[in-house]
A and B are shown apart, each in its own frame.
Chain A
Amino acid sequence: MGLRRLGSPFFLLTLLFSGLSAGCSTPALPLNERLNRVWHEAEIETARPRTISDAHFLRRLYLDLTGLPPKPEVILQFLKDKDPEKRIKMVDKLLVSDEFAVYQAHLWGDELRIKAEFPINLWPNAVQKYSRYIYETIRDNVPYDRFARELLTSSGSNFRIPAANFFRAAADRSPKGLAQVTSQTFFGKPLSAWSVREQEQFIPFFTCIGYKSSKEWKEEFVFFKSPAPGSEMITAAVPGRRKVEIPAGTDPRKILADEIIASEPFAEAMVCRAWRRLFGREPVTPELSVLRREMAGRFRAGGFDLRQLYREILLSPAYSLPPGTPEEEKVFAAYPIRRLNAEQISDRLSMFLRKPFESYSSVIPEPFTFLPPGTRASAIEDGSISSPFLDLMGKPPRDSGAPEERKDVITGKQKLFLLNSGKLYRELQQAQKHYLRQKNDNLKKRVIRLYLAALARPVTPQELAFLEKKYKSTPPKLRGRFYTDLLWALVNSNEFIYQY
């Protein structure tokens, strides 16, 4: 029915008219030009350098795309590289890397509520299946529309058909509850953000989703629950779209998928999501509405290519800008400083300490799950698996899928942990042995090595001079403590736990 409506003369006319009008009033501009125009209109002119250093760019890129900082050898190689296109090449390399797929799958896991326990109760079997599916989808760069369609229309066992978990992973599986998770996932806003009328028209799409169980522990099947023959056809509408009539024997989810994908907010929500993952904020201000629409248009026209969407943002001037004022951040004329998320901090610590900072297990399955030693915090599939450190740092509970669940703010308790933790102190002492044990070493070499490992950048001459002065003024007996203090200070530095 939905396809029929798409092919109707009225719809084609509407599409043509809206395209023409859009084209007449605001011709689509490439992202760089659009950003420049936005900045010009916002009267943002700065005397600061308009691009960050290579080391800074590499660190930012690695943390945003893979969740991890670059390794010292990667930094040195990148800095040595004289290729003027090395940033572009690095973006392309990371977008096809396994680390990108793992980290992005983890972030998707937050939004798709992949969690074994209450209130989602997906159970470990479905969690591992669903997570692997998300990972493979990103690894293979499956077009976003196909991904959405699979999530919205899949039926079958949630242990075997991973995409069927979309309608399984909801705390409230009433039609309204499913409408809520669908709106949150594909429109980036809760159901309550729509008008009452729009909500009422949207909910009927979810009235024919059935569930059944088997004799396998916690297995559930999601399927189209066909209404009795002779039942009235369902009338429903996706917010911002016209009403559609669905005959009784047709699975409304198929029409729903068509309608959602065809709707404007669908592509725009993904554009916003990509900005949020790279900048920590979405282009939702009125002055960025044209930018958002234009990007969504290109995203749609390009076949919903997620890598291309990321690439466009990453290679825009906005991504290479240094931090600035809140007014500049509002229009992406500066890179917003934000705390790294809980998993990033844990993984960073593991990298710097050269051993897993934490090990993860779960007592939900029996025998218990013991994730392999060295498993990255951002590779934990199950939202129910956590640790006191991750909880302290604001790991999201994955209850609603809303981005607000993740608490990336620094608190007093977090600062106290980083300053006072006995565990961290012991681990730093162990790591110190590694960093200092190399032969023919001197202070300079050690400091360079420590800065690369801890802050993912070379030490500046000023910093080095300061440290040399400090080292010389330290009595020889206490010089061992000098390095302990340095390691401790690096871990507690803003650069260690902030993305900037």
Chain B
Amino acid sequence: MSALPSAAPRLRSHSAIPALALASLGLGLAAIINPGLVSPAGLIGWSTSQLGLWAAVLAQTVVLVGRGIDLSTGAAVSLVNVVAIALFGLGWPLWLVLPTALLTGTVIGLANGLLIAVLKINALLATFAMSFVLLGLSLQIQPAPGGMAPIGAVTMMNGSSLGVPNALVALLALVALWQVLARTRFMLLLRGTGSDPQRAFNSGVPVLRTRLCAYILAGLFCGLSGIFVTLTIGAGDPLIGQPYTLLTIAGAVIGGVALMGGSGSGIGAILGSMFIGITGELALGIGLSPFYQQFIVGTVLLCGLAGVVLLRRSIDRTEDARIALTLSTIRRGEAA
């Protein structure tokens, strides 16, 4: 009997595996087709271009796990970007701009949270409306790309330490941050809320507070993403984050985050968005005209989505069958 408990381990640990496989495969292929990508300069270039997306996908993941969705992620990142650049323009020092930028993201998250958790507006529509407001604010602050971030900080963000690009160091920090988050009581309550809000409420979970926190946390990650974007490109652009909304949702889903809430890991989501990011490199690497790039990326993305969902379903089915078998063994063992 003592062996049985381990036969029924914690589940869903496998949900990020397809994304890991896809991301490694993509990276490997890209490295073969375009060896320049794995050169120090290539790695810096690629990782800095993706860092903002990696932070933003964590924002989307937190919200998705709580059975929400955020269609304002991209607009929030853009707003943080133009706010930071505007403050730099006013002569604010770096140590004051960064917390203010984070605060901006957090306030956006709080606003989303209030609308969705407290005023109970459908998350899809509330964040859709929010994206309009944020876009308008960004355009009002800075109608066209421009401005400059302090050159020192930008150089550092685009540099490397001990041969490792600083953007990858930041990625490691993001991963560590997620791991800490995953161990909090909040995350347990969030998974419960995402699994079934009504039942979670009946179970004594503070559903309202948990959902509110999820959006605030997402805002914080958007703030981080906005800071990364600002420091990697060194300028402001009111439309810079626009593709992020869709890319973060797709990345999270490929990374094994359940759209219906309840489960998902930030690591998987980052791997999923890495796969999306690498597809573009691949299309360029094989020398296709840029006109074909989106079609190729879109088709691969679609196949990736379909593939991951189907793969996950079949893995789940085998896993469920295995668990059912284990459980019936246990049941029989007890009946005897």
Q: Say whether A and B bind each other.
A: no
Which residues on A are within 8 Å of B, measured CB to CB?
none
Which residues on B are within 8 Å of A, measured CB to CB?
none
